[in-house]
Structure 1
Amino acid sequence: MESISLLLGEALSPYRVSLTPSGAHGECLVTLQSTNGVIVVKREINQAQLTDKRLLTDVVDGLHRDVLIAEGRLEPCVIAALRNAAQDRRLVSRN
């Protein structure tokens, strides 16, 4: 788990990442702290997400999005609008 923690730390720099076991079903708690030590994001994830490269990429993307939201640099409604637009483009391209 230490190597995954290092990878997450690199991907989410400058935030300090800690990864701790937190559940009976393989969950772990990911905590991101600012350089000042302030907790920016806490998220519980399944450890299986850390062993699959594609799922780990999704975890990093989600944590990055959560940081942007927590810092007020991205509104959740913007994310919903972007997802809807992407889905509409996929539907149009299939027709």
Structure 2
Amino acid sequence: MERICKLLNHALTPYQAQLGETDASGHRQLTVVDKQGEVTLQRTVSQRQLQDQRLLVDLVDGLHRDLQIAEGRLQPCVIAALQHQRTFQGTFA
């Protein structure tokens, strides 16, 4: 898990990721803190998300998006509009 923490820290710079202990259901608490040590995000992640490369990439992408929202650089309504647009791309003949 130390390797996963290093990868997460590198991917989320300047934030730091901290992984909690595994709970009874095999999940871990992922906490992302800013430079001042303030908690910015917390997520419960499965062991599978941390071990499968594709799921880990998806997790990091989601964390990047959530950090942009937390920083005020991206509004949730913009994300919804982009997802809606992707749903309908290529549907017109």
The answer to whether TM tops 0.5 is: yes
TM (normalized to structure 2)?
0.92
Query: 4+ residue stretches of structure 1 with deviation over 6 A?
Result: none
Equivalences, count: 93
Work out the CA distance in 1 between the residues paired with 2:59 and 2:28.
Answer: 12
SS in 2 for 1:21: coil
* Separation of aligned partners in 2, 1:57 and 1:83: 18
CA-based RMSD of the aligned residues comes to 1.4
Structure 1 position 23, deviation (Å) = 2.5
Listed as ranges, the gaps of 5+ residues in structure 2 are none
Using a 3 Å threshold, how does the CA distance of structure 1 residues 75 and 28 change in structure 2: closer, same or farther? same
Q: Which residue of 2 aligns with 1:82?
A: 82
Letter of the 1:40 counterpart: T
When the two structures are superposed, what TM-score results if normalisation uses the length of structure 1?
A: 0.90
Query: Cα deviations across residues 32-63 of structure 1 (Å, max 9, x unaligned)?
Result: 11111111111111111111110000000011
Cα distance in 1, alignment partners of residues 42 and 22 from structure 2: 12
Show structure 1 runs of 5+ residues with no match.
none
Percentage of identical aligned residues = 46
1:21 corresponding residue in structure 2: 21
